Amino acid sequence: MSIDSIHIILDLILKSWAGTLTQPEEERLNELLEDPEWARLKQDLEDDRFIMGRFKEYEKYDKIADFSCFLKRIRKHKKRRVLTASVRRTIYVAASLLVFVMAGGVWWSERTAMISPEEGREIVIETTIDRNSVRLILGDNRMIPLTHKNEAIVLGMRGILHSEGLRTLNYKYVKSDSLENVSEYHTLIVPKGERQKVIFSDSSWVILNAQSTMKYPVAFRGEERKVYVEGEAYFEVTRDEEHPFIVSVKNFDVRVLGTSFNVMSYDDEFASSVTLLSGKVETTSGHDTVRLSPGEQVSITSDNRMTVQKTDINVVVSWMDGKFGFSNERLDVIMRKICRWYDVEVLYAVPGIRERRFTGAPANNMPLKELLEALSTTTNLQFSLQDGVITIKQN
């Protein structure tokens, strides 16, 4: 067993679940699965009870420290041709850990990772502030929880207005000439169960959905207006032909002049998407670019493959109206939306259940138990909640 095979086989397993394996990749995966330990790993990772057991087990430990220890052990043994049984067991456990991270299944600490426009490097900020609150990271790395009313005074001193209702940060009244020559960037973190609106300095605006992050300049400068997004966001962009608006996501960019569109790019989804409501946008991934017309959606996979299709825009932006919209959508996709909002996990008692498809638009403002009762009544499935885990069974 080669240590280098860890990332290879995990990537191939994830692709096999997503149905995006190429023929050579499928042959490579089958070759690796001839090793009984890799075969057992794949089998266990497809067992929901095994996964939930791992979640419970890892909650007892300092996962970041433990994983760092694992990496040190691996590096220590890296030049050895034959691995001891202890190291092989460590690889097996760590592989399970890595799948959780790669599939977006668990976060051990609150982390914000974005690309620094000034230096082209990734900045990671870790904090122990309440993860259930909307947070704003200022240019000096100071973090402000927006649920605290007294923080509005701090923002007001900078010319940033913060209003309640649908919480809104308004940058229209920030004077760019009062800033330093280097643009100041803010990072907004929206946790599960929350939404946040931002009005940019050019009057364009965005609403971020739950479990989303955005990095943006306090005032737009230069030839383009560029922001960085992870998660889901709906944009209304003020037209300015001389200064195109660009939304940069993990493996693609969206370029617009003036339009309204939705961007979705969660780590636990197998594909990202851009949906156009009005105007025109160009989406670039890798070396390819596609132009959308209103009512069209482009899906982008992790290997930069793009597919354009017509879609129901009302379903796509239903989250803006406080609904979980889905049209002939797989149950596992629906449940990921629900889990992001209510901050819970899901367990499928029968693996095949997750592939069933449903249509609906339940409200997201009802207690979770009421929502699950409604789903149980309108489907032939049984939804139950215990200890933050939704269990789905066949009636």
pLDDT tens for each residue of 326-380: 999 999 999 999 999 999 999 998 878 888 999 999 999 999 999 999 999 988 8
Whether the per-residue pLDDT at 157 is higher than 80: the answer is no
The pLDDT mean for the chain works out to 78
The domains located in the chain, with CATH, are 5-102 (no CATH), 110-314 (2.60.120.1440), 322-394 (3.55.50.30)
In this predicted structure, which of 34-38, 52-56, 299-303 has the lowest mean pLDDT?
A: 52-56
What is the three-class DSSP state of 333?
A: helix
220-233 residue pLDDT tens: 988 899 999 999 99
Give strand pairing partners of 284.
253, 289
Q: Cα–Cα distances in Å, from 310 out to 280, 300, 325?
A: 14, 15, 16
Is the pTM value of this prediction over 0.85?
no
Question: Residue 156 contacts by C-beta under 8 Å, 6 or more apart in sequence?
Answer: 162
Asked whether 260 and 280 are in contact (CB, 8 A), the reply is no
In this predicted structure, which of 108-112, 120-124, 237-241, 287-291 has the lowest mean pLDDT?
A: 108-112
